[in-house]
Structure 1
Amino acid sequence: MIILSLETSSPVCSVALHRVADGSLVGQSELRLDKSHSTHLTVLIEQLLENTGHQLADLAAVAVSDGPGSYTGLRIGAAAAKGLCFALDIPLVAVSTLRALAAQVAAGTAWPEKYLFCPMLDARRQEVYAALYTNDGQEVLAPTPLILKADTLAEQLARHSVLFFGHGATKFQALLGESAQAGFLVGIEPSAVAVGALAVAAYHRQEFQDVAYYEPFYLKEVYTTTPKAK
């Protein structure tokens, strides 16, 4: 049995398969085309299942990146995940986007216990979605929208070495300037592989969502406007 994981919170559309028994990665696929999620997500799922010799009946659960992130992307991922869970009568697992991103970086960091890990996702203007985690996933700062200033997270940086990453971190690096306590990593994007690794553990703990009522963790209210009449 395998778990299908979906990551659609960022411009990267990513899917992955993990074995339930040991959490090993079966396969992954991603597409780095902006605004491609709605047209390519189901294609990526079908192709990944076919390429790994699996079918929908092999799925034990579907995991989805829970947010925060792109409102549209999160809705597309949630809709696809819920549709599969309803059709196959299998559980839905939701994994924090920021926690998965931090775990992804911590796994590839030498001496990770020396750092706090701060994923930052761009929330437009001078704002990011951010959180702080230890190398083993303990939450130091819960996911929150941060308005970036030069002294943002000054208290944490005074006591810890912090690694910043994600497509919102560049904005903070420009404001913070040189800091011996801050490290910035480039090219780090959310991945369904990291979502799936955490989803396997959640599956064994039976931490499932109510498929009928599940909504992504947007963190901020969705703001919409109506077009002005011509």
Structure 2
Amino acid sequence: MKILYLETSSKNCSVAISDDENLLCVAEEVSENYKQSESLHTFVEWALEGAEISLKDIEAVCLGKGPGSYTGLRIGAASAKGFCYGLKIPLIAVNSMESMIEPFLGQNYDYVITLVDARRMEVYTVVYDGKTGQELSPTEAKILDETSFEEFKDKKVIFVGDGARKAQDILQLSEAEFRDDIYPSTKYLVRKTLEKIEKKEFEDIAYFEPFYLKDFHGVKKKQKSEE
């Protein structure tokens, strides 16, 4: 089964194609300017060329559903729905945090904790079992302070995600490891996607919405004062 993967929740615009568990091609780029609107469909074209297949060969679409960038998630969801409607294929959605932990499972960590930068001292976070990848806490928005995650101070823990840098500066966890260069990526969505396909856990394309976690807050422009 040939599957198209889209991940647009972070600074990493990521596209991949697999044939069942075999990853055929990945096209991705981390940009501080969030280039999903510019790059996503170009990356889809590149991935199709790299996999040496055409769009009509795709049999399912998997979307990293968030949480993360509101605009990025909207772009990814609109594209995923468009492909599914046009090709009449199912949509699978996976928590974007799932892909961040894959490289660290089974590496002698007790816990892998994702930290996606929200705003100020806030992060989106999930705690995972470091051996099995089992989710041990629900995805939540958390404001960091010196007491955050203190229950893990005697455990072997790695914090991953672009929120790890500000966490490292404030958390009182001398033994913990921090990796702020880890972003959600389509190349680590394959296993979870195949599990969902096996269980027929497909999304209702018409009513699907990304996992925003919080409402969108736009920036209000200051009105010019009258002279």
Pairwise same-fold verdict (TM > 0.5):
yes
TM-score, normalised with respect to structure 1: 0.91
User: Does 2:6 match 1:11?
Assistant: no
User: Does 2:208 match 1:214?
Assistant: yes
Q: 2 CA distance for matches of 1:71 and 1:103?
A: 24
Contact 1:18-1:197 within 8 A present in 2 as well: no
Contact 2:24-2:50 within 8 A present in 1 as well: no
What residue is the counterpart of 2:27 in the other structure? 29
What residue is the counterpart of 1:133 in the other structure? 128
User: 1:202 aligned to 188, 196, 221, which one?
Assistant: 196
Deviation sequence 1:100-157 (CA, Å, 0-9, x none): 2122432xx533xx421101000010000001011322111111001000110112x1
Q: 2 CA distance for matches of 1:186 and 1:143?
A: 18
Instruction: Determine helix, strand or coil for the equivalent of 1:31.
Output: strand
User: 1:166 aligned to 151, 161, 168, which one?
Assistant: 161
Instruction: Determine helix, strand or coil for the equivalent of 1:215.
Output: coil
What residue is the counterpart of 2:61 in the other structure? 62
Deviation sequence 1:152-197 (CA, Å, 0-9, x none): 0112x145322101000111110024522x2212421211111233
C-alpha RMSD of matched pairs (Å): 1.6
The code of the aligned residue for 1:136 comes to: T
Q: 2 CA distance for matches of 1:18 and 1:200?
A: 10
The code of the aligned residue for 1:110 comes to: Q
Contact 1:68-1:129 within 8 A present in 2 as well: yes
Structure 2 gaps, min length 5: none
Contact 1:18-1:200 within 8 A present in 2 as well: no
Q: How many residues align?
A: 222
Instruction: Determine helix, strand or coil for the equivalent of 1:72.
Output: helix
More displaced 10-residue stretch of structure 1: 86-95 or 217-226: 217-226
Mark the CA change 1:175 to 1:222 in structure 2 (over 3 Å): closer, same or farther: same
Higher relative contact order (CA 8 A, sep 6+): 1
Which segments of structure 1 move beyond 3 Å, counting only runs of 4 or more? 225-230
Structure 1 gaps, min length 5: none
TM-score, normalised with respect to structure 2: 0.92
Mark the CA change 1:176 to 1:225 in structure 2 (over 3 Å): closer, same or farther: closer
Q: 2 CA distance for matches of 1:226 and 1:186?
A: 30
Percent of aligned pairs with the same amino acid: 39
Instruction: Determine helix, strand or coil for the equivalent of 1:10.
Output: coil
Contact 2:64-2:94 within 8 A present in 1 as well: yes
